[in-house]
Amino acid sequence: MQFSVGVEYALHCLTYFVDLPSGTTIRTKELATFQGVSETYLSKIFTKLKKSGIVRSMPGVKGGYELAKRPSEINFWDVIEAIEGSQSFFQCTQIRENCILLEGKEVPKSISCSPCTINVIMLEAEKKMKEYLKSKTIASLNETIKFKIKDIHEEGVLWFREALERR
C-alpha cells in the first residue's frame, strides 16, 4: 500500500491556511512556488479537495482557495479519501475457491459460507488505520509543526502574508 505524493502535497499545503487570517485565500501558484512543486499537479489536487468539501475556491483578483471547514474538522483520512478515493486497500478475489483440491467439485459450505480469513484480517487492519488517521487533524498537524520547527513555521506564515500583500 502506498499513498500518492498528492496526499503529502495536500497535507502540507492545508497547514498553511491555519495561521492566516480568516477569509484569506491562497492561490495554487503561491502554494506551488512555496513548496517547489508543479502548479499543474497541485491544481489537480485542489480540484479534488474542493470536490470533497475540504476547500472552496473564491473567484476574482484576490481569489484563490480557502478552507471550507475549521482545521479541527479536517482529518487526515478526509484528505486521503479526497485524493485517493474510497476504494478498500485490499481486494479479496476469493482465490481459495480456485484451489486445485476443489477442481471439478462444488465449493464446500465451510468455504462459501464463511468470510475469507485473510480478508477479515486485512479489513480490520484498514479499519484501525482509518480510525487513527481520522484522529489526526490539520489543526493537530499544525500544532505539532509549530512545536517541532517553530522558526520555519513562522517564516512560512510570514511568506504567505507577504505574498498576499504583493497581490
**From the first residue on, what is the mean pLDDT of each consecutive set of 10 residues in the chain (167 residues)?**
91 94 91 95 98 95 92 98 92 76 72 80 96 98 92 91 87
pLDDT of residue 95: 73
Q: Is residue 114 part of a domain?
A: no
Number of domains in the chain: 1
pLDDT of residue 113: 64
pLDDT of residue 23: 83
The whole-angstrom distance between residue 25's C-alpha and the CA centroid of its chain comes to: 20
DSSP 21: P
Give 74-131 as a DSSP string.
-BHHHHHHHHH-S--S-----GGGG-GGGTTSPPPHHHHTS--HHHHHHHHHHHHHHH
Q: Is residue 61 part of a domain?
A: yes
- The residue behind cell 480478508 is 119
Q: Can you state the angle between helices 5-18 and 138-148, rounded to 10 degrees?
A: 80
Q: Is residue 94 part of a domain?
A: no
H or E element, residue 46 = helix 39-51
Q: Is residue 32 part of a domain?
A: yes
Q: Is residue 96 part of a domain?
A: no
Q: Is 89 left (phi over 0), alpha (psi -120 to 50) or beta?
A: alpha
Q: Is residue 122 part of a domain?
A: no
Q: Is residue 100 part of a domain?
A: no
CATH number at residue 40: 1.10.10.10
pLDDT of residue 1: 66
d(CA 57, CA 32): 16
Q: Is residue 127 part of a domain?
A: no
pTM for this entry: 0.84
Query: What range does the domain containing 54 cover?
Result: 5-87+137-166
